[in-house]
């Protein structure tokens, strides 16, 4: 992050990153599969928080409510990390390959969430659709939260956006 913020992502080589960590470039690639992945270390933690939150939700709740509980749990992880999140987001949005990787991570969250819903007995089709819609809402909420420092905490924004989503997608 220091290097990326100071010199920009593209102008930072993997050799630079490794040197800053006091390691060789080869060793960097033993810890991360590629240059992008250093910025996406925490996403696995988010996934497990959401999945656990889904598993812990009340048994009789409808799928999207269950997912909402999971997403709130995941959102809680970012409490107080607003500044870091903003810096990281600035780096990511500055570079196409990084934006793609971020989308891929969100797609992984969709898959994990859908699987967690299926685990609870939700049928595959609605599980996938709920996961897609819910994670999309999470992404939108995250963008808003990052764009408004000093605003409401992320879990609240997630709730707000989910409510908006329900209104927009309401059956005719």
Partner DNA sequence: ACTACTGATGACAGCGACTGACATGGAGTG
Partner DNA sequence: CACTCCATGTCAGTCGCTGTCATCAGTAGT
Placement of tokens 């607003």 in the chain: 82
Give the footprint of a copy of itself on residues 122-161 (CB under 8 A): 125-126, 128-130, 132-133, 136-137, 139-140, 161
Give 121's DSSP letter.
T
Q: Which stretch binds DNA (CB under 7 A): 12-20, 85-93, 99-107, 132-140?
A: 12-20
How many amino acids of this chain bind DNA (CB under 7 A)? Answer: 18
Angle between helices 154-169 and 63-76 (to 10 degrees): 150
Angle, alpha carbons 23-26-28 (nearest 5°):
60
Of 72, 101, 146, 155, which lies in the binding site for a copy of itself, with binding defined by CB under 8 A? Answer: 101
Residue that is written with structure tokens 């994670």 in the block:
135
Residues 21-60 that bind DNA (CB under 7 A): 22-27, 29-31, 33-36
Q: Tokens 């897609």 — which residue?
A: 132
Shortest separation between residue 168's beta carbon and DNA, angstroms: 37
Cβ(102)–Cβ(92) under 8 Å? yes
Residues at the site binding a copy of itself, with contacts judged by CB under 8 A: 62-65, 96, 99-101, 103-104, 107, 125-126, 128-130, 132-133, 136-137, 139-140, 161, 164-172
């Amino acid at each position: 992050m220091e290097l990326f913020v100071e010199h920009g992502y593209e102008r930072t080589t993997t050799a630079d990153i490794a040197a800053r960590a006091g390691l060789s470039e080869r060793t960097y690639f033993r810890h991360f599969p590629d240059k992008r992945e250093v910025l996406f270390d925490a996403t696995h933690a988010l996934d497990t928080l959401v999945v656990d939150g889904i598993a812990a939700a009340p048994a009789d709740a409808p799928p999207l409510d269950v997912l909402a509980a999971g997403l709130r749990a995941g959102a809680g992880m970012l409490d107080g990390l607003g500044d870091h999140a903003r810096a990281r987001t600035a780096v990511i949005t500055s570079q196409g390959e990084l934006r793609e990787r971020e989308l891929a991570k969100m797609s992984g969250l969709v898959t994990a969430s859908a699987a967690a819903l299926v685990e609870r007995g939700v049928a595959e089709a609605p599980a996938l659709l709920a996961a897609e819609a819910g994670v999309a809402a999470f992404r939108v909420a995250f963008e808003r939260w990052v764009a408004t420092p000093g605003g409401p905490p992320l879990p609240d924004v997630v709730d707000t956006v989910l409510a908006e989503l329900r209104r927009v997608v309401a059956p005719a």
